[in-house]
Amino acid sequence: MAKPRREGVDDGSGTVPLDDKVAHLSRPQAYPDFDGDVEVKETHMAFVFLVGERVYKLKKPVEYRHRDCHRLASREFLCREEVRLNRRLAPDVYLGVEPLGRDAEGALALSRHEGIVDWLVVMRRLPEDCLLDAAVTRGDVAPDRIDALADLLGRFYAGLVAEDLPPEAYVAHFVREQAKNREVMTDRRFAMPGDRVTAVLDRLDRLLDEDSERLGRRAREGHIREGHGDLRPEHVCLVEPPVVIDCLEFNRFLRLVDPFDELSLLALECERLGAAWIGERLRRRVGRRLGDSPDPRVLAFYRAYRACLRARLALSHLLEPDPRDPETWEPLARDYLALAEPAARRAMPD
C-alpha cells in the first residue's frame, strides 16, 4: 500500500510541489511540437500524461512495498529500471527516460538537464482497444492472438536464467504473504464472509505447513525466474506482435517467480472478466515451450494464493486515508474469494 508524501522530507527536487509538476505536464505547451489535448490519468503510483502518440509517466513521491520514492535519485533509478525491465517484453514501446528541469527563466521544462526536479518514463502509446482486458470485455479475443502471446511469454521465460533461490526461502515468501492475506481479509471492518475466508486461508496454510515440499520442489528443480511480476490483462496488448508492459520494477524479489505462478494470475483475471479458456490455453502452450508440466496441486495453490492476494490488495485500498472509488473494493474482494474457493479445495483436498 502506498504511503503519502511525508511533510518535511527532502525529495531532491527543490521546492516544486507535485501539484505544480502535474499542472505543468497537463498543458500542451509542455511538449515541444505538440498541438492537441493532454489526457491525464492518475494511478496508485504515478500520473500518466497521454500526449498524442506518446505517454509520459511521472512517479509519485511515495513509499511503496520496500521502495522509498520520496527522493529524486530513487525516482530516477525506478524510471530507468522500468525502461530496462519492460524492454524485455515490449522492446519498441519503452522509448527512454526524460528529465523535467528548468529553462533559463526558471520555468519547468521537459528534457532540460539543468535544475532537474524530476524524471519521467516515455513510452509509445498503445491502442487501448487492443489491451487484453478490453478485448475480453468485448468478447472478441481470437485464439491465434492468445497463441501469439503464449509464444512471446514462452520465449521470454525460456531465455531467462534460473534463479538460485533455496526452496525454504521460496516457501517462506508464501508463508509471509499468507499471513498478510489473513490479517487483511479477516479484518472485521470489511464485509467479508468470515467462514468462507477462513476456510480458504486454512487450506492454503495447511499445504504450506504439511506439504511444503510439493511447492519447494519448484525452486529446487530450478523453475524460478526473474519474470514480469504483475502479469494482468490490462498489461497485455494484442498488437502484432503482442507486447506486455508495466513490469513490477520496484522490487526484484517480487519478480522472482515460477512462470506458472505468473500465468495463474493472468488466467485468474481473464476468468474474472469472463474468458476462462484463455488461462488453460496459455498454460498448455507455454508448458510445451518450456517442457514443463507442474503438479496440479501446485497450480491450484498458485491460483488460490493469487486470488487471496488480489482480494487483500483490493481491501487494502480502503485502509488508505482517502481511497479512490471506495464502493468498488469489497465487492471485488468477494469476487476474488469466490475464485479462490474451488482452487483451494483442489490444492488441499479434505
Q: How far apart are CA 35 and CA 30, in angstroms?
A: 10
Buried b / exposed e across 180-206, counting CB within 10 Å, b at 16+?
ebbebbeeeebebeeeebeebbebbbe
Round to whole Å and give the CA distance between 136 and 125.
Answer: 20
Q: What does each of the 350 residues of the chain score in pLDDT, given as a tens digit?
A: 444 443 333 344 457 899 999 999 999 999 988 999 999 999 888 999 999 999 999 999 876 555 567 789 999 999 999 999 999 999 999 999 999 999 888 899 998 888 999 999 999 999 999 999 999 999 999 999 999 999 999 999 999 999 999 999 999 999 999 999 999 999 999 999 999 999 999 999 999 999 999 999 999 999 999 999 999 999 999 999 999 999 999 889 999 999 999 999 999 999 999 999 999 999 999 999 999 999 999 999 999 999 999 999 999 999 988 888 899 999 999 999 999 999 999 999 99
DSSP string covering 110-146? ET--SS--EEEEEEEPPPGGGBHHHHHHHT---HHHH
pLDDT at residue number 113: 81
The helix/strand/coil state of 83 is helix
CB–CB of 289/155 below 8 Å? yes
**In the prediction, which pLDDT does 69 show?**
73
Cβ neighbours of residue 6 under 8 Å, at least 6 residues apart? 70
108, 65 contact by CB (below 8 A): no
Say if residues 91 and 241 touch (Cβ distance below 8 Å): no
What pTM, to 2 d.p., does this model score? 0.91
Residue 74: which H helix or E strand, with range?
helix 72-86
- Exposure b/e, 271-301, CB count within 10 A at least 16 = b: bbbebeebbebbbebbbebbebebeebbbbb
Q: Which triple of cell numbers denotes residue 343?
A: 482452487
Identify residue 166 by its one-letter amino acid code. Answer: P
Question: For residues 344 and 337, what is the distance between their CA atoms, to the nearest angstrom?
Answer: 10
Q: Give dist(CA 135, CA 172) in Å, integer.
A: 37
Phi, psi of 318 (to 5 degrees): -75, -10
Domains in the chain and their CATH numbers?
18-124 (3.30.200), 132-347 (3.90.1200.10)
- Which of 303, 223, 267, 266 lies closest to 89 in space, CA to CA? 266
